[in-house]
Amino acid sequence: MNKIVKNIKEALNLCGIKDGMTISFHHHLRNGDNVINMTVNALQELGIKNLNLCASSLFQVHSPIISAFDDETITTVESGYIGGDVGVAISNGKLKNKAVFRSHGHRPSDIKSGKIHIDVAVIAAPTSDDMGNCSGKFGKSACGSLGYAMADAQYADKVIVVTDNLVSYPLCDFSIPETQVDYVVCVDSIGDPEGIVSSTTKITRDPAGLRIAKFAVDCIKNSGLLKNGFSFQTGAGGASLAAAMYLKEIMLKENIKGSFCMGGITGYIVDMLEAGCFETLFDVQCFDLRAVESLKNNPRHKEVSAEHYASPTSKSCIADKLDVVILGATEIDTDFNVNVHTNSQGIIMGGSGGHSDVAAGSKLSIIVAPLIRARLPVIVDRVNCISTPGKTVDILVTQRGIAVNPAKKDLAERLKASGLPVFDIEALKNIAEDFSGKPEPVERGNKIIAEVLYRDGTVIDEIMNYCG
Amino acid sequence: MNKIVKNIKEALNLCGIKDGMTISFHHHLRNGDNVINMTVNALQELGIKNLNLCASSLFQVHSPIISAFDDETITTVESGYIGGDVGVAISNGKLKNKAVFRSHGHRPSDIKSGKIHIDVAVIAAPTSDDMGNCSGKFGKSACGSLGYAMADAQYADKVIVVTDNLVSYPLCDFSIPETQVDYVVCVDSIGDPEGIVSSTTKITRDPAGLRIAKFAVDCIKNSGLLKNGFSFQTGAGGASLAAAMYLKEIMLKENIKGSFCMGGITGYIVDMLEAGCFETLFDVQCFDLRAVESLKNNPRHKEVSAEHYASPTSKSCIADKLDVVILGATEIDTDFNVNVHTNSQGIIMGGSGGHSDVAAGSKLSIIVAPLIRARLPVIVDRVNCISTPGKTVDILVTQRGIAVNPAKKDLAERLKASGLPVFDIEALKNIAEDFSGKPEPVERGNKIIAEVLYRDGTVIDEIMNYCG
């Protein structure tokens, strides 16, 4: 007895797929993922309509699913991040219903509570046995952690594992157990390794980016939080990685033993683990091959679920134990509200991911951003979309200076006393506008095409269609 | 922020403990466990009444809880195994309501479905951090796997972790995540290491036991199942361990590469892993220190939940992939029904544990037992209690010969052809009775003091009070 069925279409039929259902996916294969496109194609061939596509993130590689918006195979999208042409299509009103954005921590919370009811979860698994014990650590399409898929596997009515590396029962080092899996489908390729993990994530060489990183680390150093037991999260952007590099230098020089690093993990963070800067890495997603190798081999590098990472309704989560996070922004306003959902024209090009979760959970949240991007100031009067509320944002670091949330007076004093260039955020805004001029207000459409849920379940903002 | 509260009583109060609730425990600390007694004592001091004690197993060490039967702190017990004086007390009618027996696989199934609703789960954790990320692998009271506690932690309304080894946040190699834990209580000692794990589990030296083991392995060898990919489970009894020893010799000699071994794990099974007899050990419970060390250090030795082990309602479980299991019996009847709940007088002294689960799941289930125990024949006309139905039992091995379930004619032919002493089970029964005489029928009381649920949820048998 095993659970293997011959293709995705058959698995969907066995799951009793029908119109109006919710079908879920995870995004560990990132911009290399084949599984969403293959599945959506099968759904189109089956003639299923009005589906809710609940994907933890969507990328440029998923642009073929726009055709399923057109033919109403998919009429709702719920996601943590919608990049590339898919975001543009939604902004252009191609999706019948509103898209719904949730943070990466909020998603497993709503899955667990039943606010999101998943009828069929599709798990892209780089390795699986014939009963569905599966892992992201092994195989030609290895992606490392499967942390975002865990809630889907646990709570969906039906679970299909799609793999391109079937191994003999049992897969010992499984991340998702067979107890949760109904069917296993073997395909030639679940994804393109080039898009799944970068072979190299690179530190920025841009002088402005390096300056931002240096300032950010100076803020950390002078915050009072950088001491034994320090915990940290940063992203995979060039400036964030540069900040990790500077932070590592300081921690080694000053012999500071941190406790844990959380996140999407890169090789730079693995270096910090191996150098003794941290005791533990918690990994909900691997960004590069070095992170995958480390997760596989280093017992101090541990895969965790998205719920454990950041669910606001779990009995506790790692995000709430973070000292410092470094995060990006497409825009930030003078109330420190951050936009990572849309570009400055209001077109969907991303999403919160875990941004709002860790901003809320951490003791110190630092936004790193250039003062001007694509000839437009990053600091604005009011962001096009509130992704992360200003009350959870402590510091903005730009290449020209630092702004501290007025609610954090002590912090501002500390940073000023250390000689850092601390400005009012309005002053930084003015500096930028002196260069680039004040941008024209964006003309928004009159149709709500997406709503952004905050991690407490409230609608924190709505995104209108683009009519530029 | 952390979850530490000063003692168990305070934790119970914070959990809102009240009369009539269900409070659960796991049994990895076995006959060394302090946590059940400490908790029951706290409940008595709080004056809580009519509790349902849902413990995966109970041992002689738990005899102090009998006083809580007397004062009606506890009026119901649900368990997989009730040993020592606790079983005797229940047989003597000391518990107000019926005790309910479930197998180790059935328990997580009923917890998941809500048939067992746990109000408060108490997790005895050999190591925990201040948020409740916990493990059995480390600390002075290390017990290895926490597999039986996982369903409790996942589905209980409130979860209390009790530990005697509090470590800095985060415990990287957790088995139960903080997401499931409400409170953490630190105590001096959660248990006596001598009782938690045997420092040595010993192979029998009894010639009859060795003969039984040899016959059992000859049955396996001639069953056709002993080939590459072979999977196996055995217990920690002397004859079972001797069987593992013989099996190892054959597998090494014949260069047979098994796939996995499941179970309660002993050092002998670890030896088989390390010698290359198996690729993987799946571990729901460690029986000795060597198993604990192996679980901690060998990535091919993997902790699994009781659900993954053997739940009949999970989407699949390991038990159903087993080729061969070797199991014990206090009695077996001529229909191959096995009793592991009571002794031959009908007094509760054990329980199914995973007995009925793996008998049902495996391709070949072998019962090993001496022909006569304590001057009484082990083969009887009708067992005092059906723990495992005869239809799931394939072979009885005694020191005098082997009986094959008549439903397995081909198997009987194979074993006969190999020269093994195969008898009708009645013939073996007669041999025993020639030695010991036919035992007097047991006088049962007229009150049902326990019911035995089979893994499909039906009542497979009832146990009457003892009135000898």
Helix (H) or strand (E) holding A108: helix A106-113
Determine the pLDDT at residue B239.
87
**For residue A199, is pLDDT > 70?**
no
Pairing of strands A422-423, A444-453: unpaired
In sequence order, which residues have a C-beta less than 8 Å from that of residue A240 and are 6 or more positions away? A213, A234, A326, A328, A368
CB distance A186 to A5 below 8 Å: no
Taking CA atoms, what residue in A is nearest to B155? A112
| Contact between A179 and B311 using a beta-carbon 8 Å cutoff | yes
| Contact between B181 and A315 using a beta-carbon 8 Å cutoff | yes
| Contact between B315 and A181 using a beta-carbon 8 Å cutoff | yes
Determine the pLDDT at residue B299.
96
Interatomic CA distance for residues A439 and A424, integer angstroms: 20
**For residue A200, is pLDDT > 70?**
no
Determine the pLDDT at residue B389.
98
Mean pLDDT of chain A: 96
Taking CA atoms, what residue in B is nearest to A131? B316
Determine the pLDDT at residue B439.
87
Determine the pLDDT at residue B287.
93
Determine the pLDDT at residue B202.
78
**For residue B73, is pLDDT > 90?**
yes
CB distance A56 to A116 below 8 Å: no
Structure tokens at A141: 């399409």
Pairing of strands A395-397, A379-380: unpaired
User: Looking at beta carbons, which residues of chain B come within 8 Å of A177?
Assistant: 304-305, 308
User: Chain A: which residues have CB within 8 Å of chain B?
Assistant: 1, 3, 131-132, 159, 168-170, 172-174, 177-182, 229, 259-260, 279-280, 282, 299-300, 302, 304-305, 307-308, 311, 314-318, 320-321
pLDDT bracket for residue A273 (50, 70, 90):
very high
**For residue B322, is pLDDT > 90?**
yes
**For residue B198, is pLDDT > 80?**
no
Residues A383, A389, A392: CA angle, nearest 5 degrees: 135
CB distance A71 to A40 below 8 Å: no
pLDDT bracket for residue A441 (50, 70, 90):
confident
At A20-45, the pLDDT tens digits run 999 999 999 999 999 999 999 999 99
Determine the pLDDT at residue B401.
97
Structure tokens at B285: 């419970």
The verdict on ipTM greater than 0.90 is yes
Percent with pLDDT over 70 in chain B: 99
Average pLDDT for B297-313: 98
At B324-363, the pLDDT tens digits run 999 999 999 999 999 999 999 999 999 999 999 999 999 9
Average pLDDT for B304-309: 98
Q: Pick from A181, A299, A315: which is nearest to B180 by CB?
A: A315
Interatomic CA distance for residues A321 and A232, integer angstroms: 9
Q: Pick from A172, A177, A321: which is nearest to B279 by CB?
A: A172
| Contact between A280 and B320 using a beta-carbon 8 Å cutoff | no
Q: Half-sphere exposure (CA, 13 Å, Cβ side) for B47?
A: 0
Phi, psi of A462 (to 5 degrees): -125, 145
How many CB contacts within 8 angstroms connect chain A with chain B? Answer: 100
Domains of chain A: 4-196 (3.40.1080.10), 207-442 (3.40.1080.10)
Q: Pick from B181, B280, B315: which is nearest to A178 by CB?
A: B315
Interatomic CA distance for residues B203 and B440, integer angstroms: 33
At B231-255, the pLDDT tens digits run 999 988 888 899 999 999 999 999 9
User: Looking at beta carbons, which residues of chain A come within 8 Å of B320?
Assistant: 1
Interatomic CA distance for residues B378 and B19, integer angstroms: 43
**For residue A440, is pLDDT > 90?**
no
Structure tokens at A245: 């590099």
Mutation for testing the A interface, residue in B111, B130, B150, B172 having most A CBs under 10 Å:
B172
Inter-CA distances, A87 with A36, A397, A421, Å: 16, 28, 37
Percent with pLDDT over 90 in chain B: 93
How far is CA A70 from its chain centroid?
A: 27
Determine the pLDDT at residue B207.
93
At A73-117, the pLDDT tens digits run 999 999 999 999 999 999 999 999 999 999 999 999 999 999 999
Average pLDDT for A419-431: 98
How far is CA A47 from its chain centroid?
A: 31
User: Looking at beta carbons, which residues of chain A come within 8 Å of B161?
Assistant: none
Question: Distance (Å) from the C-alpha of residue A50 to the closest C-alpha of chain B?
Answer: 28
Question: Distance (Å) from the C-alpha of residue B308 to the closest C-alpha of chain A?
Answer: 6
Taking CA atoms, what residue in B is nearest to A312? B179
In B82-175, which ranges are E strands?
99-101, 120-125, 127-129, 134-135, 158-163, 166-167
Interatomic CA distance for residues A391 and A393, integer angstroms: 6
Determine the pLDDT at residue A142.
97
Mutation for testing the A interface, residue in B135, B178, B179, B284 having most A CBs under 10 Å:
B179
Q: Half-sphere exposure (CA, 13 Å, Cβ side) for B211?
A: 13
**For residue B444, is pLDDT > 90?**
no
Average pLDDT for A434-440: 90
Question: Distance (Å) from the C-alpha of residue A315 to the closest C-alpha of chain B?
Answer: 5
Question: Distance (Å) from the C-alpha of residue A181 to the closest C-alpha of chain B?
Answer: 6
- Sheet of strand B51-55, all strands in order from the earlier edge strand to the far edge: B4-5, B183-186, B158-163, B120-125, B22-25, B51-55, B74-79, B99-101, B444-453, B459-466
User: Looking at beta carbons, which residues of chain A come within 8 Å of B304?
Assistant: 177
pLDDT bracket for residue B199 (50, 70, 90):
low
| Contact between B279 and A320 using a beta-carbon 8 Å cutoff | no
Kindly give the interhelix angle for B207-222 and B409-417, rounded to the nearest 10 degrees: 110
**For residue B200, is pLDDT > 90?**
no
Assign residue A442 a region (left: φ > 0; alpha: ψ between -120 and 50; beta: otherwise).
beta
Structure tokens at B61: 């060490």
Nearest to B163 by CA among B200, B122, B202: B122
Q: Lowest-pLDDT range, A191-195, A237-241, A365-369, A428-432? A: A237-241
Average pLDDT for A392-414: 98
Instruction: Report CA torsion sign: A286, A289, A291, A295.
Output: positive
Structure tokens at B242: 């001797």
- The type of residue at A102 is R
Average pLDDT for A230-241: 90
Nearest to B247 by CA among B267, B221, B271: B221
User: Looking at beta carbons, which residues of chain A come within 8 Å of B1?
Assistant: 320
Determine the pLDDT at residue B441.
83
Interatomic CA distance for residues B277 and B265, integer angstroms: 15
CB distance B15 to B120 below 8 Å: yes
Determine the pLDDT at residue B51.
98
| Contact between A131 and B173 using a beta-carbon 8 Å cutoff | no
Q: Lowest-pLDDT range, B36-45, B234-243, B252-261? A: B234-243
**For residue A237, is pLDDT > 90?**
no
Determine the pLDDT at residue A201.
67
Average pLDDT for B105-110: 98
SS3 B303: strand
**For residue A132, is pLDDT > 70?**
yes
Query: With helix as H, strand as E and coil as C, how does B57-97 read?
Result: CECHHHHHHHHHHHCCCEEEEEECCECHHHHHHHHCCCCCC
At B83-104, the pLDDT tens digits run 999 999 999 999 999 999 999 9
